[in-house]
Amino acid sequence: MIKYNNMELMITIAARQLEDGAVVLVGTGVPCAAAMLAQLTSSPNLTIMFEAGGIAPLLQTMPISVGDSRTTYKAIKATTMAEIMELCQAGIVDYCFLGGAQIDRYGNLNSTVIGDYKKPKTRFPGSGGANDLASLCWRTMVVTPQNKKRFVNKIDFVTTPGYLEGGNSREKVGLPKNTGPYKVITDIGVYGYHPETKQMMLLSLHPGATIDNVKDNTEFEMIIPDKYETTKEPTEEELTILREKVDPNKVIIGRS
């Protein structure tokens, strides 16, 4: 039996979502690791972009920031954040990865404050480009550990729009049609969104995880369909490439 940790599992699953020929806008850490793994396995023609301006670099090692010089190594173009956002607005970007301190049933994200905005318990960095990316890219993916502090009934601040209040509320406020949250990948399962209500729903349960794990680590009521898949475990090839080529120093994946 192949041994792997939760981070390796989540990165591997995220990489599998990125089909060959797609364009993905990533940040550092897990999103970058997933994109690099996808390029080195099933999606050699994946185009990677960085918010600070790097377009289609040849990533030799993991960059430490979106402005790291490695994000423009042999790139097609080293441009500006403004142009990257323009490309998102033009519909060029298929996927973006985002995170946050809280996520609700409709995929809205909070990366601003915990508690009251004026007198918060905790203040976070805020949006950065997250609001723009989730508003304009076709599909938004989130990779995060799952617990009740993160998967909440109501987020304390809407930093990044998901499906807002569900249904067609996203389109009603003027955001582009057919854009928005796509999948949430956690250490318990993979989740998508109901096509009509836009509420989060279970798609795949990881090996060893149970429906009780899903419920015990989610504050809101997750949709559990009658049929769902069991996540395929990382292969030996995927893990070898992830450990030896993508993150040999184990900065992201940690030490198993």
List active site positions.
51
Q: State how far the alpha carbon of 75 is from the alpha carbons of 41, 55, 59, 105, 113, in Å.
A: 20, 6, 9, 38, 36
182 closest CA partner among 89, 91, 94:
94
CA distance linking residue 92 with residue 86, whole number of Å? 9
Contact 216, 228 (CB under 8 A): no
Q: Which amino acid is at 158?
A: V
Half-sphere exposure of residue 143: CA atoms within 13 angstroms, side-chain side: 26
Report how far residue 199's alpha carbon sits from residue 180's, in angstroms, rounded to the nearest whole number. Answer: 12
